[in-house]
Amino acid sequence: MSVAFPFSAIVGQDEMKLALLVAAVDPGIGGVMVFGDRGTGKSTAVRALAALLPPMKAVEDCRYGCDPAATEALCAECRRRLQGGLRLRARQVPVPVVDLPLGATEDRVVGALDLERALAHGEKAYEPGLLARANRGFLYIDEVNLLEDHLVDLLLDVAASGENVVEREGLSVRHPARFVLVGSGNPEEGELRPQLLDRFGLSVEVRTPDELATRVEVIRRRDAFERDPRSFVARWEADEAQERRRILAARRRLPRLEPDQDILELAAKLCMALGTDGLRGELTLIRAARALACLEGSRRIKPEHLQRMAPAALRHRLRRNPLDESGSSVRVERALAELFGP
């Protein structure tokens, strides 16, 4: 297993890092889409997040990693055990960050007939796929715009329902599959289907840094990491631990923080000014602002939090001409300036 580049050692790219942290604090936000040029550290950041996330509690030998505390979201097997009067034993496991490689076949994504048992015993048994493994964690798709269309359809369905329903090869299985979808892609290589884009709670754009000092620092750290990964990671361990504590503290604060009336009104005004479709944008904006407030240890959600999350939460939801280039970021900025003043 190779060592991941430390999350806190990533230079710049603040919007992307913040969006990933916010999604880690509140998985309900619905994932992050990262658009950007080549070589801007998109994949690095996502893989670094995996190493950063604090471990979670999961039911022992549950194939879907069910949460013993959330009884309503258990898989069929755990529920049966619970109803049979058995106690669910829990253990600490790392949060899964599952890579969906390009070229993965449908049977591996949704799960399929267990080959070995079918061949050896002629038995029909279900072998869970990537969606099962990603349950309660992150599903990362690099180059998501190159993903085959039928896989995209399938992901949309599962991401919307939080449940994977398998009806194939004579199998009939359903299991929980709640995950945070993280995608990355380069818009120059192909467009993303609007339906899929809409599934992502936050959308961020990364650019190659254009200040020389930043660029030099990126190269320097990258080089130090490649030459001696282990000691580089050790040097950043303190920062990583601090970041981890920050996520945990924010998660504890999250359920207690309610948005004030004026924040709700402000969010509504902003969305109306931008003419976003539906309520999803507004909900995401408020949730993201709340997660940000928790991350920063604030006692209430301030307009400033709203303002900082608005571009990521709204820019991909504007009704737009598909040919309109990067106008949406500008439009969000303009509406923000009007609402909040310069």
Partner 1 sequence: MNASLAPPGLWADACAAAALLAVDPRGLQGVVVRARPGPVRECWLEYLDEAFGPSLPRRRVPAGVTDDRLLGGLDLPATLAAGRGVLQRGLLSEAHGGLLLLATAERASRSAIAQVCAALDTGEVILERDGLTDRHPARSTVIALDEGLDDDERVAPSLAERLAFLVDLDALSVRDLDALGPDSVTVEAAQRRLPSVTCASDHLELLCAMAVRLGIDSLRMPAFALRAARAAAALAGRAVVAEADLALAVRLVFGPRARVLEAAATEQPPPSPPESRPEESSGEEPNGDQQPLEDQVLEAIEAALPAGLLDALREGSLKARTQRAGGRGEGGQASRVRGRPAGVRAGRAERGARLDLVSTLRAAAPWQPLRRPAGVQRVYVQPEDCRITRFRQRSPTTSIFVVDASGSAALHRLAEAKGAVEMLLAECYVRRDQVALIAFRARGAELLLPPTRSLVRARRCLSALPGGGGTPLAAGLDAARELALSLARRGGRPLLVVLTDGKPNVARDGGAGRERAAADALASARALRAAGFDGLLVDTAPRPQAFSIELAAAMGVAALPLPTSGAAGLSRVVGAFAG
48 close to 221: Cβ distance less than 8 angstroms: no
Show the CA angle centred on residue 253, arms to residues 251 and 257, nearest 5°. Answer: 120
Residues 319-322: contacts with CB within 8 Å, 24+ apart? 319/275, 319/276, 319/277, 322/191, 322/194
Smallest distance, partner 1 to C-beta of residue 12, A: 11
Using CB under 8 A as the binding rule, whether residue 85 contacts partner 1 is answered as no
Look at strands 202-206 and 32-36 and give their pairing: parallel
Instruction: Out of 76, 102, 165, 238, name the contact with partner 1 by CB under 8 A.
Output: 102
Distance CA 317, CA 198 (A): 7
Instruction: Out of 154, 163, 208, 236, name the contact with partner 1 by CB under 8 A.
Output: 208
Using CB under 8 A as the binding rule, whether residue 169 contacts partner 1 is answered as yes
Instruction: Out of 146, 154, 273, 339, name the contact with partner 1 by CB under 8 A.
Output: 146
Smallest distance, partner 1 to C-beta of residue 234, A: 18
- Scanning the structure block, which residue is given the tokens 């599952």? 98
Which member of 63, 79, 222, 280 is catalytic? 280
Using CB under 8 A as the binding rule, whether residue 162 contacts partner 1 is answered as no
Using CB under 8 A as the binding rule, whether residue 319 contacts partner 1 is answered as no
Using CB under 8 A as the binding rule, whether residue 46 contacts partner 1 is answered as no
Distance CA 15, CA 19 (A): 6
Instruction: Out of 48, 53, 130, 286, name the contact with partner 1 by CB under 8 A.
Output: 130
- Scanning the structure block, which residue is given the tokens 């755990």? 78
Tokens of 100: 């969906």
Distance CA 29, CA 219 (A): 33
Distance CA 325, CA 38 (A): 18
Choose the binding region for partner 1 from 13-21, 66-74, 78-86, 315-323 (rule: CB under 8 A).
Answer: 315-323
Chain centre to alpha carbon of residue 324: 26
Chain centre to alpha carbon of residue 326: 23
Using CB under 8 A as the binding rule, whether residue 183 contacts partner 1 is answered as no
Using CB under 8 A as the binding rule, whether residue 191 contacts partner 1 is answered as yes
Instruction: Out of 19, 74, 109, 270, name the contact with partner 1 by CB under 8 A.
Output: 109
Task: Respond yes or no: is residue 280 known to be catalytic.
Answer: yes
* Active centre residues (catalytic): 280
**Residues forming the site for partner 1 (CB under 8 A):** 2, 37-41, 43, 99-105, 107-109, 112-116, 118-122, 127, 129-130, 142-143, 145-146, 148-150, 169-170, 186-191, 193, 208-210, 212, 215-216, 218-220, 222-223, 226-227, 321-323, 325
